[in-house]
Chains A and B, each alone.
Chain A
Amino acid sequence: NAGVTQTPKFQVLKTGQSMTLQCAQDMNHEYMSWYRQDPGMGLRLIHYSVGAGITDQGEVPNGYNVSRSTTEDFPLRLLSAAPSQTSVYFCASSGWESSYEQYFGPGTRLTVT
């Protein structure tokens, strides 16, 4: 049982490039979320999903796109990377018993130059 996995661990992009951050969970959790973590800011919610085919925006959704075609996977797409998107990105999942009790992946450190 791997829990929540994220790839890649590190990524460097140039401004304007696009990429997809991968997130997968093997706990059969319905709920999945993406957060970004910036120094002194804590974690802020980008997008979340309550199940396959259903997504919604969080606090800081601009510049990011998500889709959820399966229960296991919840990729985050950067459409046109900007230096302001330099951050550490965390994916989290939770089950129907308590969507608040979230399990986090190890994170992806993204640098946009």
Chain B
Amino acid sequence: AQSVTQPDIHITVSEGASLELRCNYSYGATPYLFWYVQSPGQGLQLLLKYFSGDTLVQGIKGFEAEFKRSQSSFNLRKPSVHWSDAAEYFCAVGVDSGSQGNLIFGKGTKLSVKP
């Protein structure tokens, strides 16, 4: 069965430090992969997506992610974290549900940023 694992429930980094959030997926075919961010009390905003092609994808707010098929991973990175990046981050894989593609989400990683 398809699944997404985010091994880290909560991560704290200092402002200006680099960030890597881990995501592993289980899916038989070539996956469509996404990272979403959710600020407190808000809906989900798409950060970036991978469908095919270049395995390093750039997103909004200075985030990037790298697809590694051999490791079934799609880790999210940012070279220098800002206090406004404090939020919860969700990795998701697109799966076929009959005639519609839907998303399976990981359980999320909460990011705290120390001043």
Query: Which residues of A are found within 8 Å of B106, using beta-carbon distances?
Result: 42
Interface segment out of the listed B56-64, B65-73, B75-83, B90-98: B90-98
**B30-65, CB under 8 A of A: which get 1 and which 0?**
001010100000111110010100000000000000
B94 and A56 form a contact (CB under 8 A): no
Query: Which residues of A are found within 8 Å of B49, using beta-carbon distances?
Result: 100-101
The answer to whether the Cβ of A71 comes within 8 Å of any Cβ in the partner chain is no
Query: Which residues of A are found within 8 Å of B105, using beta-carbon distances?
Result: 35, 42-44
**B11-23, CB under 8 A of A: which get 1 and which 0?**
0000000000000
Chain B nearest CB, measured from A106 CB (Å): 4
Query: Which residues of B are found within 8 Å of A104, using beta-carbon distances?
Result: 36, 43-45
Chain B interface size band reads 20 to 34
Q: In the complex the two chains form, what is the Cα distance from A45 to B54 in whole Å?
A: 29
- Which of B9, B32, B34, B102 touches A58 (beta carbons < 8 Å)? B102
Chain B nearest CB, measured from A104 CB (Å): 4
The answer to whether the Cβ of B100 comes within 8 Å of any Cβ in the partner chain is yes
Q: In the complex the two chains form, what is the Cα distance from A104 to B102 in whole Å?
A: 13
Residues of B within 8 A of A (CB): 4, 9, 32, 34, 36, 42-46, 49, 51, 90, 94, 97-108
Chain B interface main SS type: strand
Within 8 A of B (CB), among A80-110: 90, 94, 98-107
Query: Which residues of B are found within 8 Å of A103, using beta-carbon distances?
Result: 46
Query: Which residues of B are found within 8 Å of A106, using beta-carbon distances?
Result: 42-43
Query: Which residues of A are found within 8 Å of B32, using beta-carbon distances?
Result: 100
Query: Which residues of A are found within 8 Å of B36, using beta-carbon distances?
Result: 104
Query: Which residues of B are found within 8 Å of A101, using beta-carbon distances?
Result: 34, 46, 49
